[in-house]
């Protein structure tokens, strides 16, 4: 709700007005001042285009195209995304668009605005006409794409953006570093292990019983299912007090088996909603709401009796519509009684079998060593940094060609560590977002510490398998040695000692 209100296009003129303040009042939460999270501009190229162009005779528009320092995701929907050009007229903001460049990789850093004052005048004139041809849709959700002025406006925006997007894509590809086939093949082995780790991390814990034991049983259970222990008569005086059983794990009242999940436009997947019968008894009705762009069908709307794992479950299927845009983050909300659970659906562009599909290497000296984009499935490692440069020089002195530098063992280890840490950090934020509201820390320092803890926990579970998958088996067979260069202890003399 906070993201919807703070990023909604139609509310931006109100939020950005210094003379007005907008507050959000949520149940059980204090009043919160709403502010728009504006993108951080690129320090080197903040403005790419700023000029007034002609749309039709007598109609002009001021187009400003800016570049953000980091890639902008589409957001929950086009109505709330921060990327794209916001079309304004008068005191209203109508929509954000990238015209014919929607979905292009070179447009992911672009944002700005299009100011066309004639839209408001034509809209007022159409409302007074007996047969109005509206420029803005009746529900104010955007422009009427069938209006001639809107079509010409889109064409003008397209003419401005196409060369900019083409230049952005050229710049991005110019910094990519090629690798040898052996490294690319080894990357695929490592990425499969990394995707397996993410799948296990996003599955809700608790595949076994809700109250597992802490130690093996000392005797077989009796006919009633309880453990029978024979008394020890050898030492009746030294009876040990039974150890206190560990507290049972906390199980949420209502949760999706896996969240977030990734989907492609038009894809259908199976989902499962679990309920804790101690808080959501059997027979409770389940209500499900989803964002536009998703269609959901459940096999039942009522929780049945708990199964062998002690949880009630309802299975169903979810489908992403073919019209949904890659990069969208859609939400499914399940409600049972007073309990709620959310499923986040990330619409991705790639067709790989996991979250991560590729490691891209860029010859750039960035502040961060690597970053992961779940929309494209690409983790980018910035190998123009000093630590990579120094190891590259060492590899070249050792006889490696520029394309085979990644085969140099220290260089490869640094590269894998950077890529893995970027994915671990992203996964830690996703895991923390699924915590119960009363368990999730609200203090920023505590929240950062919780993210770091989840990061290290994921690394502890999966990193040993990941390193073995990314590296050659010879590294773990002990065949890698350091060959030290021989240095002569004796110094050549200019004059023979015998003369």
Asked if 322 and 341 sit in the same domain, the reply is yes
Residue with tokens 């070179």: 106
Asked if 62 and 159 sit in the same domain, the reply is yes
Asked if 115 and 71 sit in the same domain, the reply is yes
How many CB atoms neighbour CB 38 within 10 A?
A: 12
Predicted pLDDT at 437: 65
For every residue of 76-89, DSSP letters joined together read: SSTTT-SSEEEEEE
Question: Is the torsion defined by CA of 77, 81, 87, 88 positive or negative?
Answer: positive
Asked if 283 and 400 sit in the same domain, the reply is no
% of the chain with per-residue pLDDT over 90: 17
Q: Which two tokens stand for residue 402?
A: 């520029």
Q: Which of 184-198, 219-233, 404-418, 419-433 has the lowest mean pLDDT?
A: 219-233
Q: What is the pTM of this model?
A: 0.59
Res 487 pLDDT > 70: no
Predicted pLDDT at 416: 93
Res 145 pLDDT > 60: yes
Asked if 321 and 394 sit in the same domain, the reply is no
Predicted pLDDT at 210: 42
In a domain, 260, yes or no: no
Asked if 74 and 168 sit in the same domain, the reply is yes
Higher pLDDT, 435 or 407: 407
Question: Is the torsion defined by CA of 335, 341, 346, 351 positive or negative?
Answer: negative
Predicted pLDDT at 475: 84
Give dist(CA 370, CA 368) in Å, integer: 6
In a domain, 374, yes or no: yes
Asked if 397 and 281 sit in the same domain, the reply is no
Asked if 375 and 320 sit in the same domain, the reply is no
Predicted pLDDT at 23: 86
CATH code for position 148? 3.30.230
**For residues 344-371, average pLDDT:** 84
In a domain, 244, yes or no: no
Domain boundary among 328, 347, 366: 347
In a domain, 32, yes or no: no
Domain boundary among 120, 144, 174: 174
Asked if 330 and 364 sit in the same domain, the reply is no
Predicted pLDDT at 18: 83
Exposed e or buried b per residue across 74-93, where buried means at least 16 C-beta atoms within 10 angstroms of its C-beta: bbbbbbbbbbbbbbbbeebb
In a domain, 188, yes or no: no
Evaluate whether 264 touches 286 at the Cβ level (below 8 Å): no
Give dist(CA 404, CA 326) in Å, integer: 34
Give dist(CA 355, CA 387) in Å, integer: 28
pLDDT tier for residue 490 given thresholds of 50, 70 and 90: very low
Give dist(CA 80, CA 77) in Å, integer: 6
In a domain, 248, yes or no: no
pLDDT, mean over the chain: 81
Segment 355-364, tens digit of pLDDT: 898 899 988 8
Q: Which helix (H) or strand (E) holds 269?
A: strand 268-275
Number of domains the chain is built from: 3
Host domain of residue 340: 265-347
Segment 191-239, tens digit of pLDDT: 888 988 888 888 754 433 444 455 555 555 444 444 444 444 544 445 5
Strand-pair partners of 115: 62, 88
CATH code for position 308? 2.60.40.2310
Give dist(CA 10, CA 407) in Å, integer: 52
Residue 381 region by backbone torsions, left for phi larger than 0, else alpha for psi between -120 and 50, else beta: beta
Dihedral in degrees, nearest 10, Cα atoms 351, 352, 353, 355: -110
Of 464, 455, 428, 453, which Cα lies nearest the Cα of 202?
428
Give dist(CA 356, CA 98) in Å, integer: 26
Segment 2-56, tens digit of pLDDT: 777 888 888 888 888 888 888 888 777 788 888 888 889 999 999 999 999 999 8
Question: What are the helix (H) ranges across 84-174?
Answer: 118-127, 148-174
% of the chain with per-residue pLDDT over 70: 85
Q: Which two tokens stand for residue 449?
A: 């510490």
Segment 51-106, tens digit of pLDDT: 999 998 888 999 999 999 888 865 546 677 888 899 999 888 888 888 888 777 78
Of 79, 77, 85, which Cα lies nearest the Cα of 39?
85
| N-to-C CA span, the chain | 95
Give dist(CA 11, CA 1) in Å, integer: 13
Evaluate whether 254 touches 336 at the Cβ level (below 8 Å): yes
Res 241 pLDDT > 70: no
Question: Is the torsion defined by CA of 380, 386, 392, 395 positive or negative?
Answer: negative
Predicted pLDDT at 226: 46
Evaluate whether 109 touches 72 at the Cβ level (below 8 Å): yes
pLDDT tier for residue 420 given thresholds of 50, 70 and 90: very high
In a domain, 196, yes or no: no
Segment 104-126, tens digit of pLDDT: 778 889 999 999 998 988 888 88
Res 168 pLDDT > 80: yes
Residue with tokens 């401005």: 160
Domain boundary among 313, 347, 381: 347
CA angle, 408 as apex, 386 and 194 as ends, to 5°?
85
Asked if 379 and 304 sit in the same domain, the reply is no
Asked if 297 and 421 sit in the same domain, the reply is no
Evaluate whether 201 touches 457 at the Cβ level (below 8 Å): no
In a domain, 30, yes or no: no
Predicted pLDDT at 214: 52
Asked if 282 and 395 sit in the same domain, the reply is no
Question: How distant, in Å, are the alpha carbons of 62, 125, 141 from that of 121?
Answer: 16, 6, 18
pLDDT tier for residue 499 given thresholds of 50, 70 and 90: very low
């Amino acid at each position: 709700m906070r993201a919807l209100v703070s990023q909604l296009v139609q509310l931006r003129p109100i939020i950005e007005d210094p003379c007005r303040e907008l507050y959000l009042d949520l149940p059980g939460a204090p009043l919160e001042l709403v502010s728009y999270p504006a993108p951080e501009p690129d320090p080197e190229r903040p403005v790419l285009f700023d000029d007034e162009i002609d749309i039709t005779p007598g109609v002009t528009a001021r187009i400003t195209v800016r570049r953000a320092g980091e890639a902008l995701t589409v957001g929950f929907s086009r109505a709330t995304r921060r990327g794209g050009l916001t079309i304004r007229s008068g005191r209203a903001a109508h929509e954000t668009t990238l015209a014919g460049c929607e979905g292009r990789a070179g447009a992911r850093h672009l944002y700005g605005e299009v100011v066309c004052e004639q839209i408001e005048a034509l809209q007022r004139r159409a409302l007074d006409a007996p047969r109005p041809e509206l420029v803005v849709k009746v529900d104010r959700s955007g422009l009427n794409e069938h209006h001639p002025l809107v079509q010409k406006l889109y064409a003008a925006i397209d003419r401005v953006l196409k060369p900019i997007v083409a230049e952005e894509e050229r710049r991005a590809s110019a910094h990519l570093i090629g690798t040898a086939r052996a490294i690319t093949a080894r990357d695929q082995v490592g990425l499969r292990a990394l995707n397996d780790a993410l799948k296990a991390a996003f599955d809700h814990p608790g595949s076994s019983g809700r109250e597992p034991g802490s130690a093996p049983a000392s005797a077989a259970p009796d006919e009633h299912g309880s453990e029978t222990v024979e008394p020890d008569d050898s030492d009746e005086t030294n009876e040990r007090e039974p150890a206190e059983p560990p507290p049972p794990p906390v199980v949420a009242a209502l949760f999706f088996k896996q969240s977030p999940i990734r989907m492609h436009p038009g894809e259908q997947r199976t989902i499962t909603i679990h309920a804790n019968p101690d808080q959501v008894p059997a027979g409770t009705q389940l209500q499900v709401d989803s964002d536009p762009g998703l269609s959901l069908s459940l096999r039942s709307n009522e929780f049945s009796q708990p199964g062998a794992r002690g949880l009630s479950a309802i299975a169903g299927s979810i489908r992403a519509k073919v019209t949904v845009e890659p990069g969208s983050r859609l939400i499914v909300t399940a409600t049972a009684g007073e309990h709620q659970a959310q499923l986040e659906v990330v619409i991705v562009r790639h067709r790989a079998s996991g979250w991560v599909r590729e490691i891209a290497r860029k010859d750039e000296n960035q502040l961060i060593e690597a970053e992961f984009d779940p929309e494209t499935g690409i983790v980018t490692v910035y190998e123009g940094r000093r630590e990579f440069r120094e190891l590259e020089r060492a590899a070249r002195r050792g006889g490696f060609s520029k394309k085979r530098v990644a085969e140099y063992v220290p260089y490869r280890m640094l590269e894998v560590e950077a890529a893995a840490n970027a994915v671990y950090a992203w996964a830690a934020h996703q895991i923390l977002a699924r915590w119960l509201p009363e368990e999730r820390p609200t203090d920023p320092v505590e929240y950062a510490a919780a993210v770091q803890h989840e990061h290290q926990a994921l690394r502890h579970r999966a990193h040993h398998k990941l390193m073995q998958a990314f590296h050659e088996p010879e590294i773990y067979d002990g065949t890698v040695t350091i060959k030290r260069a021989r240095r002569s202890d004796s110094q050549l003399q200019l004059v023979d000692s015998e003369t």
